[in-house]
Structure 1
Amino acid sequence: MTGSADPFGTEGLRAAVLASWRDSPTRLREDAATEADLVRAGYRDRLLTELAQNAADAAAKAGVPGLVSVRLDGRTLSIANTGAPLDLSGVHALTALRASGKAEAATVGRFGVGFTAVLAASDDIEFRSTTGSLHFSRTRTREALRETGIATPDGGAASTFLAPALRLVWPVEAPPASGFDTEVVLRLHADVDADALLAVMRDEAANLLLELPALQSIRIADAEFTSAVRELGDGLQELRVTGPDEHRTWWQFRTPRARWLLPVRNGKPHAAPHDVLRAPTRSDEELSLPALLIADIPMQPDRRRLLPGTRVTELASGYADFARALPPGDRLVLVPAPGFARSEADGLLREALVRELQTHSWLPVVVADAAGRRTESDPADAETAGLADGLGHGIDSDGGAVPTAVPTRASVFPYLTPELAHLLDDVVGPLVIPGLSGRAHTEALAVLDVHRLGLARLAELSGGVDRPPAWWRDWYVALEPFVVDPLTAEELGALAVPLADGRLVTGPRTVVLDDMLEVPIPLHWARLVHPEAAHPLLSRLGARSATAEELLADPALHADLTDHPDDPDLIDAVLRLAAYADPDALPSWLGMIELPDTTGELLPADELLLPEAPLYALLAEDAPLGIVAKEVVDEYGAQALRAVGVGWDFGVVAESDPTGPDHHLDDEEAWWEGLPEEPSEFAAVRDLDLVDDIAWPDALHQLLAEPQTRRLLADPDGYTAWWLRRHARLDGVTLGHYRHPRDTEFTGLLPEFAVPGLSDTNLEVLRSVLANPEQITTDLADALLAALADPANNPEPEVVSRAHRHLAAAASRLDLTELELPERVRALSGAAVPAIGAMVLDLPWFGLVLPSDRLVLGDQETASGLATLLDLPLVSESVTAEVLGAGRRTSWSAEPLGVVLRQLFSLAPQEGELVLHEEDLRVRLSGAVAGTVSVPWWRSGTETHIRIPVAVDGTPPATS
């Protein structure tokens, strides 16, 4: 302290104040009322706040760390601080209710009216400083009024008047506490709860360190609160406030007009709870902003309310810079949440902050330059870029440049994934980064007026994208997690799909997938997805799956080939696709594509053979088949060529639901006309008519060797077996006129089929093309009749009988007008006799009396049919028989001989009478044969005549 007893001239100050009161009693009243109002209202609870402001100004002025210490000694409270000591202007400010000792605009009101806050706790105050100390006392002020005879406003004694306590000041010889430059000592009112006052100060300490950056430490009794600031870069600072029971961290950013603070927990910023405007200390202007606002702004004298007309919206300037300084994933925390304003100032500030955020580039986005590369520009270019196209850059936590955009020019896709973001960056322009696209950020982005994208919009935009097929597969992979129900699938109905032929089409429902393809094949008749772009998502969105076989069976392809069978692009696509197809499942009309043969002539594929085809050796010399050019084989491979009909071995024609004999097969119309009904499936071996007759043994081996032709040989009703029976010849005999080696029905009539090297299994397959006794056709009937009539043949009588029986059984199915009846027939005697005079034996007992060379025998059941077939009379119609003699009439059951005969010849129970003749049994014949003959037995109607004794000659009597 200075050695002067009154270094600040307080005696003159007192004299001047007393003189003004003496001259103007109103002035005394005004000073008293003003001081009382400030204590009761404006500064009623701001004791530590106002003294801390003074301490902050002193520290800032001295350029030293601001330290504040609050101590309680009994009923004496002291608040000490470091910094610039008291000077004369400060003394003037302390004693003037309407003046402030501000040295510059940056201070917050050093020793202004805020010092009045001490009166809420004390009327006896000492202001101690290293340059001199002062004493304020309401008691001493009353004494001075009394001593000078100044009348109080109410006319009463000075001792009862509530005189101003801070207008008169006296010097005092008392230095500040050791280590401090200034100390305010308060002798507390009797009604002040000292402990409660300290508790309130402890609650205020942390906030004061936030609001007054010049202060670094505030000690309240034994509790110390400290603050520390660390630079984070790009204007962002970390402010840590530590107390006895708390440790709070804030991110701090300074703009030209304000200071903003965001609370940080576990390294992540969070929106601040509802607060008040801090100007710089707490006011009564309520705010609902996401960050604390600390600003030097005009306030009313009590610093609780804004001065009318204050332009608070200017405080929003630079707020977007604060957002850009934050890590990209944390920036939306600064967006004010929708809600009602808590005050007029709050409403103005919220609107200004939203407008500031909406119109500046700070929102982290995914973007790409014109070449499709991610934009990575220098942060220094951010402002220029933002002005030019709405894009700028921020700095991420690793110091790298982060593309930013003006929010109103950006788009957001909800729940954007990194994979989708990478693909969308240059499709939709500035796109909000994945980390800010979740549900938690929806509200903030809506406040910023960021355009919201849906799946339908992405699908629409995809139609204008030019990318390689692999990009599209990645695109579908990235979209798949978003397709969770039919509704989202419907939104992607306009999704673009790249085709194998290079086109880009709209709508998965219009395309076809074939998962077997490994390389793209341009199919102009079908919308085939490029194999490198194919993905299961397309199936979920309605794409149809089709095999190579289905694509090659497309009616659109059939129509194209019909019109342009020589189109090189079409042929190329067909052959490349055929390499992936099952040849057995392809339509025969693919054979119409035209390919060059070895001479360069274009021929349909089904009129060409592959080089060294085994079929070539089987063909007749004049067969109209060429050899496909070697370069075609080298380019597409034999498998693809065989699939479309180029021959190697026997080809197959197949069709579902055929409509007629339109397959260009030899004699197909005749086969079709003979069918009982139209087939639902058609398959046949083609080119059988081109086989050389001498090559049929090898041809049969070839047909049996391939499964697809072997099964057609096994179908007796199919075209293939039908044609072979009628037209294929071995040694000049059609196959249908050969009997199977295991069949003896026609031994001696038909030649036995004999081709070397055939297995038993293959011989069984060939039953369908050889003579079948149970399926006599007109052609086979002609052959059998001719064989029976040929005297060179010597079939056994039993064979003849069976042949006649099979012919008779088939008579009802045959068109008898087509049969060529020979002049001879095979008689019971085994001789081929003239048909004239022959009769069909229908009653067996006539065989006992008629010549065997006039009888044609099948069996009794089919005799009528055989007679019709051969155009011969029946015996029963040509010869009449009469039994001579009456005989003895009895029954089969009453006559012992009848019982014996039934058991001897295993006869069923007989009907009619049994007539026994003890003498010779004679029958008189008339008609085609006349005379009387003796017979061992005879039937006449239901009567059976037997001569006794029976001549047992091995022939039982007829019983039916």
Structure 2
Amino acid sequence: MSDPFDTAALRRRVLAAWGDSPARFREDANAEEDLVRGGYRDRLLVELAQNAADAAVRAGVPGRLRLELAAVGGGGEVLHAANTGAPLDADGVAGLASLRASAKRDQEATVGRFGVGFAAVLAVSDEPAVHSLSGGVRFSAGRTRAEVAAVPALAGELARREGAVPVLRLAWPAEGAPPEGFATEVVLPLRAGARAAVRAALQDLEAELLLALPGLREVEVVVDGAVRTLACTRTPPLARVRDGDRTTVWRLAERSGELPAALLADRPVEERTRRAFTVTWAVPLDDDGRPVPPPGRPVVHAPTPSDEPLSLPARLLAPFPLGPDRRHVTSGPVTAALVDAAAAAYADLVTALPPDPAVLALVPRVGLAAAELDADLGSAVLDRLRATAWLPVADADSHTDAGTRRPPGRAAVLDDDAGDRVGALTGVVPGLLPPGWARRDAAPALAALGVRRVGPAAVVEAVTGIARPPSWWARLYAAFETADREELGALPVPLADGRTAPGPAGVLLAGDDLPVGRLGPLSLRIAHPDAVAPPAARRLLERLGARPATAAAVLADPAVRAAVEESVDAVDEGFDDGDPADLADAVLALVAAAGTAPGELPWLAELALPDDDGTWAPAGELLLPGAPLAAVLGDGALGTLDPDFAAAHDPAALQAAGVLSTFALVRAEDPDDLDVDGAGEWADAVLDRLPPGTPPSWPPLTTVRDLDLVADWAGALPLLAALPDEAWADVVLDTVTVPCHLRWWLATHPVLDGQRPGRLRHPSSTQLQGLYEPAQAAPEVLARLRPPATVDDVLADPDAALDLLERLGDPARTVPAAVLRDVHARLAAALDGLDVEPPERVRVAPDRVADPGREPVAVLDAPWLQPLADGPLVPAGGAPGAVADLLDLPLLSERVRAAVESAPESRHAWADLPGADLAAARLGLPGLAGEVEVHGPLLAGGRPVPWWPGSDGGPDAVDGTPAALGRALAWRHGAWPLRQALAEAFAEPGRSADLAAEDGVG
């Protein structure tokens, strides 16, 4: 077998050195054992890829590696690693057979490191081989053991080690060639215990490894015949990494340089000549070019994966010096220099990325470092980012370009940049980050960078005092609609008159109906309409205390009321603040826009308006030119509005302001507040109608003013009748209904043909015929005045009841018989409790009155005594005592003293009389009790009488007539109104059945 690399000579030298110095053998064996025990199985593929990349660099060709796991006889598996590039040479063989040297010593562009390298194959194989276009070599644990056993000086050491030998120190020539298209192939027969790990490593091999190996363009991984291709195409500053059908785009940032020789003084000799370095950061991008976290375990790549954790969400590829274990970075000046270079490259990476909030994920998180190197990197990167102008700002104005970047110390971010807040504040808050940068997950990064946070309170401070058009403020308000109300209380508000309010509280927000341009004289704080045009702007200001400025709301403003109420005095004092006509125009414009009804706002009547004499007077004391009311009032009672001023304004607005066309309504909560004629007297009259006790709670009251100024009642009454119903509505106090002030006033004044309506009767009345003259007026006027139509109408008013009592004694008047029967009793009830002067004459018949001073007048209280009366009788209506007290008359029973003088002819039980059953039924009794005596004739007091009641339940006395029987029985049972019905029962006993049937019909 040919030996192109003279491996025999290499073996002789190594064996000679071991034979001369068994300690050297022990040293080499221990070093290799340490490598095997170091668990470098996970680095095997990385080392193979690294060697392939270095071979491609040495040859100046694109690197390509093929990793294939193949089965062999006996159930074993072999890992083949074929690569392109420079073939194996003698130096390379020497390097493979050395645990401490490398053929890469003078090759600056390579990435392989000193220390482990090819030795990583020992983690999986005892019989590694290398086949190259220039020849091949093989290493073997078995053959090495045999060679060592033949050296007497080593026999004891070999036994002590139980046959364990350093595999990679002795090389033998190997037959074989790399696959076509490749320059070198590493062949690794796998130990049984390593097969599963190698298979898993092949499956998990990341395409991103190629980022650390610029010389390697493609890796083919073949497992069980399935081919997976990993590739990396670099077009700086981008790299496209492909894993099968999936391609990931990475953004790269590099910093290259040369380390000062002094920094490498304490490094191994092989490293001292390799002073050039390149630090690379790589971060994957999404489809929109935004950075996303890299896949895999976040570690430092030096430049291939180490065990140094990395909290930064990017891949760092840098030639950090590693410790003997090839896993951890060694601290020192070289590492410090590379950390500085890495921080600068990281800042380049961040600056080059699109200005998107996703970039903030690349900012180190303070306090989250996982190890010393990670902490150093994070601190250095953060310092660089703080000093680098990389944050985009929204200050696009005449002084700042839209693409300007700023360092974090000169940038600001809103606490919440929702909606259009950033756009609204562009040019106002310096260095403001664009929208989207204030999201919650970005807050730690911005805080670490030192970016100034701007909350609502700071926004208010920033905009206070600046000059901007109202539309700009509208945009600001709309943007901050949902912000914290407490911090926006001092937000300025531009007003319609050019002023600026120091805060929204109390500011009026103009509605569509508000004549803003005419309201200047009122000096109101009305927001400029353009500033509150967007609904969102209005909603914010309302939350902050502004009030919707409808015309009605503005009219309700205390400042408007004060201006109106002081307007007449202001005119008298010279009206220093402008023209009174301007104030009047402004108020009337508000009234018209609000649709205010006449009398709705009584204080409007204080508004100073010009009259036809060239002076100014309160609106409530002026008449519209040609007003119907003017024709019915006395001359000079009220002034007249200036005709030109009246023609220039809406008549409805003028009337709402109090200018009179007809009678004006007056409203109050209590009679004491009714500034109208007779209000006190009306209240007293109302209280007279109520039972004594606690004063009532008055409902809202409405009446009419200027009644005392009327000169023409014939013309005034139709105007009054046409007023709204509320002016005529009855007042209900404690369930008692009383007439309103207007109706009471008219009823007590001679307004109907010189007479009081309360002293006339309704034309349709029958009860009051003969007592009152009929009222003559239009139906609508009579309907409002309600002249009395019944006795009850009269008796409702004590004054009217006294007048009725007087009318009953007037001999010129007549009384309907039906009214006379009980009118005195009803009068007594109505006037009960009042001190009433007895009348001089009393009514004793519909057409007759009597003078008690000249004849013996009595009140009929005992009807059986009526035949014995020697003077006129007053009907008692069932209340003889009360009537006698009212009229100051005696009762008939007091004046006549008599008893039955005749003897009875017969005596009967009431129940035995013909017709008794019907009489009992009409009394509602099952039968009649007691007795009755029949006289012929019945005498009492020397005179015949028809009936006489029995005393103490004794028998009644009658003259035998049905009428007498009916009266006696009715009085016995307290059913005096049934006397006629009972008389009928006794008069026609034969018709009892028919009469009873008729009773049932009713």
Matched, 1:726 2:726: no
Which letter maps to 2:901?
A: A
CA distance in 2, matches of 1:139, 1:808: 144
Deviation at 1:588, TM superposition (A): 3.3
Q: 1:701 to 1:849 in 2, by over 3 A?
A: farther
What residue is the counterpart of 2:764 in the other structure?
A: 742
1:360–1:386: 8 Å Cα contact kept in structure 2?
yes
Which stretch shifts more, 81-90 or 100-109? Answer: 81-90
What residue is the counterpart of 2:666 in the other structure?
A: 653
Equivalences for residues 256-655 of structure 1 within 5 A = 256=255, 258-262=279-283, 269-270=292-293, 272-300=295-323, 303-309=326-332, 310-311=335-336, 313-314=339-340, 315-324=342-351, 325=353, 328-336=356-364, 341-357=369-385, 360=388, 362=390, 367=394, 377-379=401-403, 381-382=404-405, 385-386=406-407, 390-391=410-411, 409-413=412-416, 417-418=418-419, 435=436, 494=489, 572=586, 576=590, 579-580=593-594, 583=597, 586=600, 588-627=602-641, 631=645, 634=648, 637-655=650-668
1:253–1:261: 8 Å Cα contact kept in structure 2?
yes
What residue is the counterpart of 1:402 in the other structure?
A: none
Matched, 1:666 2:681: no
Deviation at 1:937, TM superposition (A): 5.6
What residue is the counterpart of 2:690 in the other structure?
A: none
Q: 1:524 to 1:835 in 2, by over 3 A?
A: farther
What residue is the counterpart of 1:811 in the other structure?
A: 831
Q: 1:592 to 1:802 in 2, by over 3 A?
A: farther
CA distance in 2, matches of 1:154, 1:542: 100
2:568–2:606: 8 Å Cα contact kept in structure 1?
yes
1:716–1:769: 8 Å Cα contact kept in structure 2?
no
What residue is the counterpart of 1:251 in the other structure?
A: 250
Equivalences for residues 698-737 of structure 1 within 5 A = 699-700=717-718, 702-704=720-722, 706-711=724-729, 716-727=738-749, 729-737=751-759
Q: 1:295 to 1:206 in 2, by over 3 A?
A: same
Which letter maps to 1:386?
A: P
SS, match of residue 303 in structure 2: coil
Deviation at 1:362, TM superposition (A): 4.9
1:66 maps to which of 41, 63, 67: 63
Matched, 1:683 2:701: yes
CA distance in 2, matches of 1:949, 1:284: 142
Which letter maps to 2:660?
A: G
Which letter maps to 2:252?
A: F
Which letter maps to 2:759?
A: H
What residue is the counterpart of 1:108 in the other structure?
A: 111
SS, match of residue 667 in structure 2: strand
Structure 2 residue ranges without an equivalent (≥5) = 256-277, 571-579, 688-694, 977-1002
Which letter maps to 1:608?
A: L
2:854 maps to which of 837, 850, 856: 837
CA distance in 2, matches of 1:242, 1:592: 90
Which letter maps to 2:331?
A: P
SS, match of residue 711 in structure 1: coil
1:53 maps to which of 43, 50, 53: 50
Deviation at 1:56, TM superposition (A): 2.5
1:141–1:168: 8 Å Cα contact kept in structure 2?
no
CA distance in 1, matches of 2:641, 2:63: 105
Matched, 1:763 2:783: yes
Q: 1:16 to 1:418 in 2, by over 3 A?
A: farther
CA distance in 1, matches of 2:860, 2:620: 60
CA distance in 2, matches of 1:225, 1:498: 66
Q: 1:810 to 1:908 in 2, by over 3 A?
A: farther
What residue is the counterpart of 1:225 in the other structure?
A: 229
String of CA shifts for 1:208-258, please: whole Å, max 9, x gaps.
323213311123456352324476xxx763532224xx7362523214263
Deviation at 1:665, TM superposition (A): 0.3
What fraction of aligned residue pairs are identical, expressed as a percent?
27
2:958–2:964: 8 Å Cα contact kept in structure 1?
no
Structure 1 residue ranges without an equivalent (≥5) = 392-408, 483-487, 925-933
1:549–1:585: 8 Å Cα contact kept in structure 2?
no
SS, match of residue 674 in structure 1: helix
Which letter maps to 1:650?
A: F
SS, match of residue 312 in structure 2: coil
Deviation at 1:648, TM superposition (A): 3.7
2:564–2:606: 8 Å Cα contact kept in structure 1?
yes
SS, match of residue 730 in structure 1: coil
Deviation at 1:738, TM superposition (A): 1.7
Deviation at 1:671, TM superposition (A): 1.3
CA distance in 1, matches of 2:396, 2:512: 37
Which stretch shifts more, 527-536 or 330-339? Answer: 527-536
SS, match of residue 595 in structure 1: strand
SS, match of residue 748 in structure 2: helix
Which stretch shifts more, 345-354 or 884-893? Answer: 884-893
What residue is the counterpart of 1:210 in the other structure?
A: 211
Deviation at 1:549, TM superposition (A): 7.2
String of CA shifts for 1:191-215, please: whole Å, max 9, x gaps.
8968965764564463532321331
Deviation at 1:949, TM superposition (A): 8.3
1:68–1:80: 8 Å Cα contact kept in structure 2?
yes
SS, match of residue 218 in structure 2: strand
Equivalences for residues 761-910 of structure 1 within 5 A = 763=783, 766=786, 773-775=793-795, 777=797, 779-781=799-801, 783-784=803-804, 787=807, 793=813, 807-812=827-832, 814=834, 816=836, 828=845, 830=847, 836-837=853-854, 840-843=857-860, 855=872, 857=874, 859=876, 861=878, 873-874=889-890, 876=892, 880-881=895-896, 883=898, 886-888=901-903
String of CA shifts for 1:821-852, please: whole Å, max 9, x gaps.
7x766664735777752665302778767788
CA distance in 1, matches of 2:156, 2:957: 181
CA RMSD of aligned residues (A): 6.3
String of CA shifts for 1:178-198, please: whole Å, max 9, x gaps.
434x42555769889689657
CA distance in 1, matches of 2:189, 2:967: 156
1:299–1:307: 8 Å Cα contact kept in structure 2?
yes
SS, match of residue 53 in structure 1: helix
Deviation at 1:280, TM superposition (A): 1.0
Deviation at 1:726, TM superposition (A): 0.9
Which letter maps to 1:735?
A: P
SS, match of residue 700 in structure 2: strand
What residue is the counterpart of 1:485 in the other structure?
A: none
String of CA shifts for 1:635-662, please: whole Å, max 9, x gaps.
5x44444444333433322233x2x523
String of CA shifts for 1:916-950, please: whole Å, max 9, x gaps.
875796858xxxxxxxxx66569899799989687
Q: 1:119 to 1:514 in 2, by over 3 A?
A: closer
CA distance in 2, matches of 1:891, 1:627: 95
CA distance in 2, matches of 1:555, 1:954: 82
Which stretch shifts more, 28-37 or 46-55? Answer: 28-37
Deviation at 1:66, TM superposition (A): 1.9
